[in-house]
């Protein structure tokens, strides 16, 4: 019976990875929309977000079922509870990506302001790189990479400060809509990186059982 339970946990781990891959695909579509306003990518991203939400609900229910049926202890309990947290992070990252995609109708306006647009593109690249580190860490159950994610210098904070400084220089009749949509996009990308770091922090706790690592989840 315990072998059957651990087989279920292995399947759950793989399903979380599959959901993470779907989120990764949507982040790449977000980058396409950000860079060149790809309408087809935007349509796919909106449709895929529904799949991500459905997976989140299904896997969350599966975790609750396992907790009720198996009454796991020690590392098994830590795994299931951590999966619940990571599912929430993945779903949130998907929502943040979609928020940027939905700015596409205003893209031509704020993409015309190159100083802030270039920063946004850099933020997108940084956010996706951080997320992919989180996905690799989960796939390999890599403590070293999880630790790096949870403790690395927050480069996105510097990008965001630079973005805010440039937004203060925006002038002209379209200054307000440019600043507003750029700020929403920038904040969303910054949060993608933050949630990716939380995944690393939670994985580090899951692998070590050290409760001190939970403080790194506060972002």
Instruction: Name, in order, each residue with C-beta under 8 angstroms of 157's C-beta and a sequence gap of 6 or more.
Output: 190
42-46, 70-74, 126-130: the lowest-pLDDT one: 70-74
CATH number, domain containing residue 170: 1.20.58.220
CB 196 within 8 A of CB 130: yes
Query: How many structural domains comprise the chain?
Result: 1
Q: Taking the model in full, what pTM does it have?
A: 0.94
The C-alpha atoms of residue 184 and residue 178 are separated, in whole angstroms, by 10
pLDDT at 217: 78
Instruction: Name, in order, each residue with C-beta under 8 angstroms of 149's C-beta and a sequence gap of 6 or more.
Output: 130, 133, 134, 137, 196, 197, 199, 200, 201
Phi-psi sector, 38: left (phi>0), alpha (psi -120 to 50), beta? beta
> Which range marks the domain in which residue 137 is found?
2-217
The C-alpha atoms of residue 78 and residue 138 are separated, in whole angstroms, by 15
Match 């995944």 to its residue by tokens.
Answer: 199
DSSP secondary structure code for residue 172 in this structure: S
Instruction: Dump pLDDT digits (tens) for 84-130.
Output: 999 999 999 999 999 999 999 988 888 889 999 999 999 999 999 99
The C-alpha atoms of residue 90 and residue 192 are separated, in whole angstroms, by 9
φ/ψ of residue 70, rounded to 5: -100, -20
pLDDT at 1: 55
Helix residue spans in 71-174 (DSSP H): 74-101, 107-111, 114-140, 143-151, 155-167
Instruction: Name, in order, each residue with C-beta under 8 angstroms of 29's C-beta and a sequence gap of 6 or more.
Output: 38, 41, 42, 44, 45, 48, 97, 101
Is the pLDDT score of 216 beyond 90? Answer: no
């Amino acid at each position: 019976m315990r072998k059957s339970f651990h087989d279920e946990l292995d399947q759950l781990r793989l399903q979380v990875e599959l959901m993470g891959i779907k989120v990764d695909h949507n982040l790449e579509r977000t980058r396409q929309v950000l860079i060149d306003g790809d309408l087809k990518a935007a349509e796919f991203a909106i449709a895929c977000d529904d799949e991500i939400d459905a997976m989140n609900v299904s896997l969350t229910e599966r975790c609750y079922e396992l907790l009720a049926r198996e009454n796991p202890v020690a590392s098994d309990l830590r795994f299931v509870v951590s999966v619940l947290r990571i599912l929430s992070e993945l779903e949130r990252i998907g929502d943040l990506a979609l928020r940027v995609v939905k700015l596409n109708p205003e893209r031509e306006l704020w993409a015309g302001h190159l100083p802030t647009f270039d920063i946004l593109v850099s933020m997108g690249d940084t956010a996706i790189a951080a997320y992919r580190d989180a996905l690799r860490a989960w796939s390999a159950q890599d403590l070293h990479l999880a630790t790096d994610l949870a403790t690395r210098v927050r480069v996105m904070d510097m990008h965001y400060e630079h973005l805010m400084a440039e937004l203060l220089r925006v002038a002209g009749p379209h200054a307000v809509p440019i600043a507003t949509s750029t700020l929403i996009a920038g904040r969303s990308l910054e949060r993608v990186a933050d949630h990716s770091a939380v995944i690393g922090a939670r994985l580090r706790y899951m692998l070590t059982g050290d409760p001190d690592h939970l403080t790194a989840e506060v972002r």
